[in-house]
Amino acid sequence: MSLYKNIDNWLDVRLGTHSLIEKELTGYLLPRNINAWYSLGSVLLFIFSLQIVTGILLLIYYVPDADKAFASVTMIMNRVPFGWLVRMCHVVGSNMMVLILLFHMLSVLFMGSYKSPRELNWLSGFILFNLVMAISLTGYLLPWSQLSYWATTVATNSVGAIPFIGSYLVEFLRGGKLVGPPTLGRFFALHVAVIPITIAAFVGIHLVLLQRIGVSTPPFGLKETKSNWRGDTFRYEEHPGGIPFFPNYLLQDMTSIMLYLALFFAVLFFDPYLFLPKDAFIPADPFLTPAHIKPEWYFLPNYQTLKLFPSEFLGLAVQGAAMTFLALLPFIDRGTEKHPLKRPLFMACSIGGILLWIGLAIWGHFS
């Protein structure tokens, strides 16, 4: 017996690796008509791991102190060998993570994968979406630049629109009346410890749920697109005659990750400052608000909504309602039809919603 066979056998006797591989990889069958959109989850997992690795690397040189943060980031960019690469990977990666996350959600919406019995998958995914927004927001402050400082000032300020407790809440979030060194401490702890752990936990939950219930059948390329789930007992959605996860679908996952990397490197090497306006290169100055301060692109619609409504509270309430609706979508949309073209009302609403979102973002950008 060769060495490889020996090791393989040794592990199998102790861990049952053969049956595990059979169950989770080669014997794990996916629907025949599964498409590339289903690999976005793997792409997101890959991006998240990359963010963790680059984040840990940045922690080596970053100093979470209001007096030193900006200088430490400058040092990472200018003096540490390849520091610019690590930092730009983290910055660009965070934006790309939000982008891919939006695509992942859209594919789930259009292919009806959120529907019963996958409400819990949708909810856990929705929570992940919010956590990603939160980790982006808290990370934004850390370089302690003018952009960081004022974007955080604006973002935390909007919480003040909540009646009665608003102003106290703002102060609580900031750790003081204004954004300052205590805010940096809080956001740093949230960004590097609290939120990442929570995201990891919810990714775990999200995957366990997927594993338990089985992959949903895409509605495309099928005559019958209705879900025949009845809702009386638990049933794992099997896909007899489907394609094995390994090697077939893993290859698709790898292909998508490679395509993603091509896009990622294109931004990283040809337009690294795409997501960094020039205020990101000026140290924070609490006495000087720069003109035209705007949040990141994915917060622009929220920002514009807040400006549109006469009272901040109304703007906040509308956003809260929209988010609640999105979270509860699988409980509201009880139909079993999954094909987007056979769901005209859904199509009209979702496309309208997306256009509204994009329109608000563009408006916010140019106003």
Least separation in angstroms between CB 82 and other proteins: 4
Lookup: tokens for 50: 């990359």
215 vs 35: CA distance, rounded Å: 12
Q: What span, in angstroms and rounded, lies between the C-alpha atoms of 49 and 51?
A: 5
- Residue nearer to other proteins on the CB measure, 75 or 99: 75
The three-state secondary structure class of 235 is coil
Taking the least distance from each CB to other proteins, the nearer of 187 and 260 is 260
Helix axes 40-61, 69-78, angle to 10 degrees: 110
Q: CB-wise, 56 or 348, nearer to other proteins?
A: 56
Size of the site for other proteins (CB under 8 A): 9
- Taking CB under 8 A as the binding criterion, the range among 75-83, 149-157, 293-301, 341-349 that sits at the site for other proteins is 75-83
The DSSP line for 139-199 is HHHTT-BHHHHHHHHHHHHHGGGSTTTHHHHHHHHHTSSSSSHHHHHHHHHIIIIIHHHHH
* Helix, strand, or coil (residue 222): coil
Query: What are the residues whose beta carbons fall under 8 Å from the beta carbon of 278, sequence distance 6 or more?
Result: none
Among positions 34, 40, 47, 57, the unique one binding other proteins when judged by CB under 8 A? 57
Number of helical (H) and strand (E) elements in the chain, helices listed first: 15, 2
| Residue 79 sits in the site that holds other proteins (CB under 8 A) | yes
State the minimum distance, in angstroms, from the CB of residue 75 to other proteins: 9
Residue 259 interacts with other proteins (CB under 8 A): yes or no: no
Binding of other proteins by 86 (CB under 8 A)? yes
Residues forming a β-bridge with 242: none
60 makes contact with other proteins (CB under 8 A): yes
Residue 85 touches other proteins, criterion: CB under 8 A: yes
Q: Which stretch binds other proteins (CB under 8 A): 73-81, 235-243, 283-291, 331-339?
A: 73-81
Q: In whole angstroms, how close is the CB of 118 to other proteins at the nearest point?
A: 36
Could you say which of 1, 5, 81, 241 contacts other proteins (CB under 8 A)?
A: 81
Q: Is the Cβ of residue 80 or residue 326 nearer to other proteins in the bound state?
A: 80
**For other proteins, the closer CB: 54 or 217:** 54
CB of 81 to other proteins, least distance (A): 4
- Cα–Cα distance measured from residue 94 to residue 73, given in angstroms and rounded to the nearest whole number: 17
Name the minimum Å distance from CB 60 to other proteins: 7
CA dist., res. 274 & res. 264, Å (int)? 12
Beta bridge partners, 230, equal: none
Q: Write down the least CB distance from residue 222 to other proteins, Å.
A: 35
- Copy the structure tokens of residue 27: 């014997």
Least separation in angstroms between residue 281's CB and other proteins is 21
Interface residues with other proteins (CB under 8 A)?
Answer: 57, 60, 79-83, 85-86
